[in-house]
Every structure is written in C-alpha cells, then in structure tokens.
Amino acid sequence: MIVRIWGTRGSYPVARAEMLRYGGNTTCVEVRVGDSCIILDAGTGLRQLGEALGREPNPPTTINMLITHTHWDHIIGFPFFAPIFSPQNRLEIYGLQRTQSSLRKTIANALSDPLMPIGLEDLRANLSFHEIHEGLEFQLDSRVRVCTARANHPYRALAYRLESDGAALVFIPDTGPFHTVLFGDERIEWTGKPTANTDDDLLALATMRAQIINLARGADWLIYDSQFTDEQYARFPHWGHSSASQAREIAEEAGVGQLLLFHHDPHHTDAQIDAMLEEQRAICRSDMIITAAYEGMELRKGDLP
C-alpha cells in the first residue's frame, strides 16, 4: 500500500508563506494498492493529484473516491480534478446516505448554476454514486477491504479503514471527542455547558468512541483530526473537531503504529504545528510514532504497485 498526502488543511484552503511546509490545500489522500486507486476526500489537494495521475505512463482508469462528508473543504477540489473530464475514466464515488438529499444531487447542486457553470452531464467520465452508511464493510476492486464508522461531527461524517495485504490505513479527518457534545443531524447551540447530558446521549457517545477505537485498532497509520490546541478546543467544542492531545489519546488506545495529525487549522502556521507535534511526542507514553501530515508525504507498506 502506498499512501500519498495531497491536502492536509481543514475548513478552507490557505495560500500563505508561513504554511508552505504542511501545506494549504484542503483534505485529500491518495491510496494505491496494486492497480487500485482510492482517493479519500476531494479537497483542493485533488487538483494536484489529478495532474500527477495525468503524468503517469499508465494512469488508473477506475478511481474510487471515498468521501467522509460533503462540507465545502472536502469537495471543493472535485471540479478541478482533470480525470473527470476524460471519457475513458470511471469514477466510483462513495458517501453518506442522507434523508435530505442524495449524494449525487449534493455534488450536482454544488457544481451547477449559480455556484459553478458545470452540470454532471458536462463531466465526461463515467460517474457512479454509492450511498453508504456507518458500520458497513465492503470490498473494493477485490483487493481492498473498506470498513466505516461514524465520526462525531455536525451533520455526521464517516470514518474509513482501508486494509490490504497486511497494511491498514484509517482516515478520520473530522471528528470531535466523545465526551461533551453529541453531534447528529441537528445543529448544536453552544451554551458553554456540555450538551450530552442524558444517559442516552452519553451511551451514544461511548458507543461511537468504542467503534472509532475498534475501527482504528492496530492500524499502521491513523490520519486523525487534530485541528485544535487544547485551549482552542475549550472555546469551540461545538465545531466537531479534536485537539492534538485528543487525537493522541485515541491513537494510543487503539494501538496504532503511527498517528498523523491532520485537518490543520487554517490559522496554524508551520511553526505552530511543529510545536503541537513536539508537545504530543513529549507526553506520548507508547512507542507509537507521531507525525503531522504534510503535503507530499508518502507512506509505504506491504504490496506496492
């Protein structure tokens, strides 16, 4: 398995000199196993990934795109991904099933007038939309096993585990911790006090946490939301993001090989992310490796294409 990081930033893309090392593009990760090409999220990093695929001698013609959720920062790279304009390509797009709107309609509306001049009919690649739900396990291209769980994020988001030939990657770019606020479909009005008070809420949070830990258990790599410092988290617990220390705690409990801090805050400079990373390394009790994901980062294990 080869994992390449194309976008690490959360919320919105940032073009600033102080953020060049970790990068300013929003979330996008490429996974290659054998002939399979899997893309996790379609943030602005997707544009450069599309260009890189175009430079390959035999670029993949089937591309699986697993979307955690459709907040802007996770889909804004989509219309700038060159392979969607080539008729020989097939895109299999996976995302959450929702009652309000189909995945196809959600993407189509974002791309069309008056927000963009594109209709799905202008995309010459063959697109299929697959609506999935948390707790699902399925096989992609016969070589890759995909498992999903629910992340604790406004309007819900998916967490993914990809496994192939003894290598496992877990991708949880957007989730809050599991003690104060239980996110669902409704908006949370933050009053300064924990909103998850009832036994049902607390049980739901504990269950979600157990399932996230289970999803991440023993993974080689865990890419995890660490948008905040602890001080920021205390001010914005209703945003549905974690702090770096909360990410480390989940990673340690799940016994992962390497934690990658991810979904960097759009205000955090390279120096601030360095400091957050050092702080977590200093208090990490296990032999787990902690890094902060940066654009251009590549991870390899097991069966390589």
Partner 1 sequence: MKLQFWGVRGYVPTPGAEYLRYGGNTCCTAIYGAGGEMVVIDTGTGFCQLGDTLMTTEFGRGRGEMTLLITHTYWDHILGLPFPGLVHIPGNRLHIYGPDSTRGSLEMVYNGMLSPVYSPVYGLAHIGATHSFQPTTTTPFTVGGMRVSALPLSRRNRSPIWAYRVEEGSRSLVYITDVRYTDDQIWNQALQFAAGASVLVHSAPYTRTEQVQDYGHSRVEDAIELAQEAAVERLIIFHHAQSRTDDQLDLLVSNYRRQLSDDESPLILDAAREGPVVEV
Residues near partner 1 (CB under 8 A): 9, 11-17, 19-20, 23-25, 44, 47, 70-72, 75-77, 80, 98, 100-101, 106, 109-110, 113-117, 154-155, 185, 187, 239-240, 266-267
Nearest approach in angstroms of CB 304 to partner 1 is 27
Q: For residues 102 and 130, give the distance between their C-alpha atoms in angstroms, rounded to a whole number.
A: 10
Identify which of residues 113 and 287 has a Cβ nearer to partner 1 in the complex.
113
Nearest approach in angstroms of CB 285 to partner 1 is 33
Nearest approach in angstroms of CB 187 to partner 1 is 4
Nearest approach in angstroms of CB 164 to partner 1 is 31
Identify which of residues 119 and 194 has a Cβ nearer to partner 1 in the complex.
119
Identify which of residues 114 and 192 has a Cβ nearer to partner 1 in the complex.
114
Identify which of residues 106 and 148 has a Cβ nearer to partner 1 in the complex.
106
HSE-up of 101 (CA within 13 Å, CB side)?
Answer: 12
Identify which of residues 46 and 222 has a Cβ nearer to partner 1 in the complex.
46
Identify which of residues 24 and 83 has a Cβ nearer to partner 1 in the complex.
24
Q: What is the phi/psi pair of residue 6, to 5°?
A: -110, -20
Nearest approach in angstroms of CB 30 to partner 1 is 17
Give the three-state DSSP class for 70.
coil
Q: For residues 129 and 90, give the distance between their C-alpha atoms in angstroms, rounded to a whole number.
A: 11
Nearest approach in angstroms of CB 7 to partner 1 is 9
Identify which of residues 161 and 268 has a Cβ nearer to partner 1 in the complex.
268
Identify which of residues 98 and 209 has a Cβ nearer to partner 1 in the complex.
98
Name the pairing type of β-strands 28-33 and 36-40: antiparallel
Nearest approach in angstroms of CB 35 to partner 1 is 29
Contacts of 64 (CB under 8 A, 6+ apart): 36, 37, 38, 39, 91, 92, 94, 140, 141
Q: For residues 163 and 102, give the distance between their C-alpha atoms in angstroms, rounded to a whole number.
A: 27
**What residue has token string 């097939």?**
90
Where in 67-120 does DSSP place strands (E)? 90-96
Q: For residues 216 and 239, give the distance between their C-alpha atoms in angstroms, rounded to a whole number.
A: 22
Compute how many other C-beta atoms are within 10 angstroms of the C-beta atom of residue 87. 9
Q: Tell me the C-alpha to C-alpha distance, in Å, between residue 201 and each of 118, 178, 190, 215, 278.
A: 42, 10, 16, 21, 34
Nearest approach in angstroms of CB 101 to partner 1 is 6
Largest CA distance in the chain: 57
